C-alpha cells in the first residue's frame, strides 16, 4: 500500500470515528429522554391504576366521590395515551440512530482490519449488534405485557383486599366470605399469568427438543389460555441452529399474540413445513383483517410488532411476508433457506 493510499485510509478512519462520536452523543441524549419519558409514563400508569381502583370501589359502595374519581380517571387515561405516543416516538428516533451507528460502525470495523481478516465480516458485525438491540426490544415487550396482564390482576386484587378490610371492619361476615372467594380467584389468575410469562420467556423444549415440539406446546397452551381453535400442521421439519429456531419461535409467538389482540377469537392456523430448500413458517387467522398500507399512511410507520418480526427474519437471512385485507384475515409467513 502506497503512502498516499495509507493517508487516505487514515483520513477515512478519522472521519468515521468523529462521526460515530457525534452520533453516540445524540444516542445518549435520546436514551436519557426515553428513560425520563418511561419513568413519567410508569408514574402516570400507577396513578391511573390507583384511581381506577378507587373509582370502582366508590361506585360499588355508591360513594359521593365516584363522579370526581371518574373524571380524574378519564384525565389520567388521556395523559397516559399521550405519553405512550411520546415514548414510542422517542424509541423510534433512538432506534434509527442505533441503526445508523451500527451501519457506520461496520464500515469502521472493515477499515480497521486487514483485508484478509475474517473478523471484518459485515454480517458477523451486524449479528452482534442485533443481539444487543433484540434484548432491549424484548424488555420493552415484556414490560408492556406485564402491565396489560399480571399488573391489572394485582390491581384488581388490591381493590378486593380493600373491600374485604372494609367488610371486616363493619363485621359484614356474609359478604366478606364472597369477597374473599373473589380475591382467591383473582390471585390464582395472576399466578397463572405469571407462570405463563415465565414459560414464554424460556421455552425449555426449544433447546432440548427443537422448534417443532416447542411450537406444538405453545399452540396448545395458546388454545387452552384463549379458548381459540388452533390448527397446527408440520411436515419435514429439521433441527437447525438454535439461534435460527429461537428467531422462528419468537416470530410465531408474536404473530399469535397479534391474532389474539386483533382476530376477535377467530380460528388460527399455524404451518411449519419444508418446501424444497426452504422451511416455511405460516401463521394465519380468519379475523377481520386490515389494510397495512392504510395503517402505515395514517401512523407514518409499520406497527412495532410487524417491524420486530421483519427484522428478526432478516437477521437469519429469511424472507418475511405479510398478507392482509379487510374481511379476509391476516397471514404472516417466513421462508428460511435451508442450504
Kindly report the CATH number assigned to the domain that includes residue 294: 3.30.565.10
State the pLDDT at residue 231. Answer: 95
Question: Region 154-163: what's the mean pLDDT?
Answer: 80
For the stretch 248-296, pLDDT in tens is 998 999 899 889 888 888 999 999 999 889 999 999 999 998 888 776 6
> Going edge to edge, which strands form the sheet with 230-235?
230-235, 268-275, 278-285, 330-337, 319-324
Q: Is the pLDDT of residue 3 over 80?
A: no
Please give the C-alpha separations between residue 88 and each of 39, 41, 80, 95, 330, in angstroms, as whole numbers: 13, 11, 12, 10, 24
CA atoms 296, 299, 301, 302: torsion sign: negative
Domain assignment present for 89: yes
For the chain, give me the number of helices (H) and strands (E)? Answer: 10, 5
Domain that holds residue 282: 204-337
Domain end position, chosen among 110, 127, 148: 148
Backbone φ and ψ of 202, nearest 5°: -135, 80
> Which residues have CB under 8 Å from 337's CB, separation 6+?
277, 278, 317, 318
CA 101 to chain centre: 23
Is the residue at 95 inside a domain?
Answer: yes
| The pLDDT of residue 283 | 96
pLDDT in tens, 101-143: 776 765 555 555 544 444 445 555 555 555 555 566 666 666 6
Q: Percent of the chain having pLDDT more than 70? A: 78
Query: Are 143 and 50 within one domain?
Result: yes
Residues 208 and 329 in one domain: yes
Amino acid at each position: 500500500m502506497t503512502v498516499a493510499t495509507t493517508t487516505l485510509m487514515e483520513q477515512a478512519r478519522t472521519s468515521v470515528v468523529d462521526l460515530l462520536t457525534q452520533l453516540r452523543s445524540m444516542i445518549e441524549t435520546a436514551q436519557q429522554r426515553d428513560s425520563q419519558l418511561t419513568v413519567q409514563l410508569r408514574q402516570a400508569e400507577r396513578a391511573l391504576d390507583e384511581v381506577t381502583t378507587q373509582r370502582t370501589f366508590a361506585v360499588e359502595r355508591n360513594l359521593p366521590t365516584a363522579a370526581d374519581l371518574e373524571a380524574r380517571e378519564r384525565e389520567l387515561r388521556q395523559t397516559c395515551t399521550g405519553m405512550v405516543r411520546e415514548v414510542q416516538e422517542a424509541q423510534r428516533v433512538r432506534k434509527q440512530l442505533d441503526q445508523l451507528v451500527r451501519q457506520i460502525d461496520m464500515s469502521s470495523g472493515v477499515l480497521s482490519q486487514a483485508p484478509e481478516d475474517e473478523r471484518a465480516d459485515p454480517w458477523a458485525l451486524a449479528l452482534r449488534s442485533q443481539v444487543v438491540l433484540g434484548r432491549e426490544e424484548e424488555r420493552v415487550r415484556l414490560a408492556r405485557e406485564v402491565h396489560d396482564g399480571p399488573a391489572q390482576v394485582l390491581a384488581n386484587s388490591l381493590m378486593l383486599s380493600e373491600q374485604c378490610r372494609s367488610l371486616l371492619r363493619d363485621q359484614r361476615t356474609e359478604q366478606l366470605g364472597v369477597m374473599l372467594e373473589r380475591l382467591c380467584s383473582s390471585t390464582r389468575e395472576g399466578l397463572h399469568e405469571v407462570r405463563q410469562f415465565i414459560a414464554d420467556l424460556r421455552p425449555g423444549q426449544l433447546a432440548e427438543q427443537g422448534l417443532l415440539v416447542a411450537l406444538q406446546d405453545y399452540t396448545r397452551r395458546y388454545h387452552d389460555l384463549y379458548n381459540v381453535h388452533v390448527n397446527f400442521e408440520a411436515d419435514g421439519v429439521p433441527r437447525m441452529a438454535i439461534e435460527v429456531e429461537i428467531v422462528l419461535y419468537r416470530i410465531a409467538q408474536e404473530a399469535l399474540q397479534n391474532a389474539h389482540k386483533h382476530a376477535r377469537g377467530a380460528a388460527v392456523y399455524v404451518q411449519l413445513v419444508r418446501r424444497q430448500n426452504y422451511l416455511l413458517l405460516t401463521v394465519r387467522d380468519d379475523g377481520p383483517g386490515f389494510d397495512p398500507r392504510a395503517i402505515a399512511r395514517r401512523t407514518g410507520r409499520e406497527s412495532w410488532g410487524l417491524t420486530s418480526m421483519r427484522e428478526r427474519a432478516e437477521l437469519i437471512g429469511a424472507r418475511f411476508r405479510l398478507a392482509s385485507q379487510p374481511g379476509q384475515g391476516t397471514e404472516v409467513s417466513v421462508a428460511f433457506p435451508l442450504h
